[in-house]
Amino acid sequence: MAEEKQQFDFQTLARVVSLAKPYKGLFVLAGVLSVSLAVLSAVTPWLVNVMVDDYIQAKDLPGLYRMSIIFGVAVLITVAFRYCFLYFTALLGQNIIKDLRVNVFNHITGLRMRYFDQTPIGKTTTRTINDIESINTIFTQGVITMLADILGIFTILGFMLFTSWELTLMCLTTLPLLLLSTYIFKERVKDAYQKVRKQITEMNVFLQERISGMQVVQIFNVENREREKFKSINRKYTQANLESILYYAVYFPVIEIIQYGTLAIMVWWGSKWFAQDTITIGVLVAFPIYINRLYRPIRMLADKLNTIQMGLVAANRVFEILDNNDSIANNGFLSDIDSNGHIEFEHVNFAYDEENYVINDLSFELKPLETLAIVGSTGSGKTTIINILNRFYEIQSGEIRLDGKSIRKYTLDELRKNISIVLQDVYLFTGTVYENITLRNTEITREQVEEAAKMIGAHDFIMDMPENYDYVISERGGNLSMGQRQLISFVRALVYDPKVLILDEATSSIDKETESIIQYAIEKLIAKRTSIIIAHRLSTIRHADNVLVMDNGRKVEMGSHEELLNKEGGKFRELYEMQFQETELVD
């Protein structure tokens, strides 16, 4: 199992590194700089050795001046290379995660609706932001910097062995302690980091749900209970962070103790060998610098290895989304077609979970320019019909046709270009009224928007707003009434000029005073186009050419409003009378 996990980690690392292909120049440049820094880190202590033995002891001041200049130049070059190395690795990382975020978002927009039904928004947000940021650290603090550190360690060891192999071996006697401490630290911090990643995901999910549903929280007076839940989640997140901080707080002092122990061994044996003329004073001066340069990357190596491991954990989560191929197959070839809006369902069966069917053997026909109302009790399959018509979900069997051709033969763009939906729960984005109507489609002009708004009676209320069409709507349209949000969604649907218009219980949340305005807008919307109206208020569908009555995913009746209303023992009549009695009771 461990070998499989290790192999999997290497595969993931290779996949992450492959993301740098578009930036091979930056990657190679960072690699060259890492090799240069490895050499330069060992050159400066060697220069100190030479300066002490060959010039200071010889009292060669002119030569010492020359060596001081060389030493100063080496330091400046090291500083310049270090700056370039840090800058280019950061630039590489930022470019990679910029592309990766775009790829992930593009992929998410193509996933089936089932993914969004089953995956919390906070979890997807964490993957797209936090986890991708962790992948960035693989490049800025991980692979390349660790390669530079490893090269630096071996280069310094080479110079140390060349300078005095005996003293080098004595200094390496503390290496087992260093390796043991580093291994223990690495394992403990890895576990702590995994807890941190888990807790931050849970926190994001909790916050997204509670902030989005704050009205419900306050309506039912459960603020204190939710505060306690958040305190518990926050406490676990804080504890996970404190655990990792504790390991750092222990590890670095331990490494310093080992480093000072190494320095003590070097001084003890170095002094004895200097007294015996085995080594020079320059070696004694240079070796403390060597030891510092050797231990600095070693003590950071474990941290960088953990950074890579945590980056790989995050990468696996991101790749899990990218590898999710549960998207609607866009294999259609029909595009740029002027549809007439002829819709046919033929023996259609559909289940969200592949097992429990919510649409059973459904067949009906909606001719061009006709209006079909779909009614039925909650859970009867009304909304599911429009979901499968738009191919948000794929049917298990049967056929759905638009203009006599299977909807699978249309490209998704072409299919959805010809169909507009106005939902009961209108979703508006943060932005101006104009931007929410056009959805930032530059092909739609201001004149077209205003003409559409005037057509359905929304222009006056928009002009009454501060800044009119440039009025900024808050998140989800919180600064507008339900009726205003609905009217804007109608303008949005009309301005895209669909051949098929679907209204999903568009008046169910509207008060009676506003309903007359909405009804006028609906009449304008459905004029000269094929329409499907999912209705809760049966009194609003009198103008429909036909009414489809659904019950438990099956078609039980279909006909005109009058035909179904006059049908003794019919389902539609039962629903109508039940709603009429409820209305009388309310009145």
Distance CA 69, CA 63 (A): 10
Distance CA 29, CA 77 (A): 16
Tokens of 59: 């009292």
Find where tokens 């630039």 sit.
91
Q: What is the pTM of this model?
A: 0.70
* Number of residues that make up the chain: 587
Tokens of 576: 């109508």
Give the residues of the chain that fall short of pLDDT 50: 1-8, 584-587
In contact, 28 and 100? CB cutoff 8 Å: no
Please spell the DSSP secondary structure of 353-391, one letter per residue. TSSSEEEEEEEEEE-TT-EEEEEESTTSSHHHHHHHHTT
Domain ranges of the chain: 20-322, 334-417+540-587
Chain center to CA of 555: 40
3-state helix, strand, coil in the chain (%, to 5): 70, 10, 20
β-strands 371-376, 546-551 pairing = parallel
Amino acid at 305: L
Query: What is residue 363's predicted lDDT score, i.e. its pLDDT?
Result: 92
Query: What is residue 508's predicted lDDT score, i.e. its pLDDT?
Result: 55
Query: What is residue 348's predicted lDDT score, i.e. its pLDDT?
Result: 93
Query: What is residue 6's predicted lDDT score, i.e. its pLDDT?
Result: 40
Query: What is residue 133's predicted lDDT score, i.e. its pLDDT?
Result: 83
CA distances for 43 relative to 31, 86, 272, 275, 474, angstroms: 19, 20, 26, 26, 60
Please spell the DSSP secondary structure of 386-443, one letter per residue. HHHHTTSS--SEEEEEETTEEGGGB-HHHHHHSEEEE-SS----SEEHHHHHHTT-TT
334-417+540-587: CATH class: alpha beta
Please spell the DSSP secondary structure of 230-265, one letter per residue. HHHHHHHHHHHHHHHHHHHHHHHHHHHHHHHHHHHH
Same topology, domains 20-322 and 334-417+540-587? Answer is no
Query: What is residue 427's predicted lDDT score, i.e. its pLDDT?
Result: 80
Q: Which of 186, 171, 141, 165 is nearest to 295 (CA)?
A: 171
CATH of 20-322, one of 3.30.360.10, 3.50.50.60, 3.20.20.70, 1.20.1560.10: 1.20.1560.10
